[in-house]
Amino acid sequence: MAADAHRSVSLTRTGPLSFEATNPRGGRISMSSGESSEFTPVELLLAAVAGCSGVDVDALTTRLAGPESFEIQVSGEKLRDGDGNHMGPITVRFQVTFPDGEAGDAARERLPEAARMSRDRLCTVSRTVQLPTEVRFEVGDQ
């Protein structure tokens, strides 16, 4: 495995049911149980799916034309059933407007293919959600 393939974040409790995630580059994001305006972990998962695919689609389409607007809506139902708590099917909806003209037409034509490529191969986040991925929990000594 290449050294640059490793990814990590650290999470620190900042208060009751509230945490701050820090990445190795110093970026920070707060999250909580949903009792405040901070994102919940599930909302961050949805944002990660949208963000990952957004980067893919942006990179693949803006080679042809820059968008006039670029929005992604992502949603799904949180389920509680025999499998425990989990998300049901997640829908990612791209709403992208490109300028009139040949370049904009080419980007518009590329958009569905770019979204498929992200879903089927490129987006690490949605691919991880779609594929069986082992998640290990370890409890360290204090």
- Banded pLDDT at 2 (limits 50, 70, 90): low
Residue 59 Cα distances to 5, 11, 66, 74, 124, angstroms:
20, 30, 10, 19, 15
Condensed to tens digits (0 to 9), the pLDDT of residues 55-70 reads: 999 999 999 999 999 9
In whole numbers, what is the pLDDT of the chain averaged over residues? 95
Name the CA dihedral angle for 113, 50, 3, 135, rounded to a multiple of 10 degrees.
Answer: -110
- Banded pLDDT at 54 (limits 50, 70, 90): very high
- Banded pLDDT at 4 (limits 50, 70, 90): confident
Decide if pLDDT at 25 tops 90: yes
Could you give the CA distance from residue 24 to residue 26 in angstroms, rounded to a whole number?
Answer: 6
> Higher pLDDT residue, 103 or 4?
103
Task: List the domain boundaries for the chain.
Answer: 1-39, 41-130
Q: Could you tell me what percent of the chain has a pLDDT over 90?
A: 93
- Banded pLDDT at 82 (limits 50, 70, 90): very high
Could you give the CA distance from residue 85 to residue 75 in angstroms, rounded to a whole number?
Answer: 16
Condensed to tens digits (0 to 9), the pLDDT of residues 34-50 reads: 999 999 999 999 999 99
Name the CA dihedral angle for 84, 34, 133, 46, rounded to a multiple of 10 degrees.
Answer: 120
- Banded pLDDT at 3 (limits 50, 70, 90): low
84-97 and 69-81 beta bridge pairing? antiparallel
Specify the fold of 41-130: GMP Synthetase; Chain A, domain 3 (3.30.300)
| pLDDT on residue 1 | 54
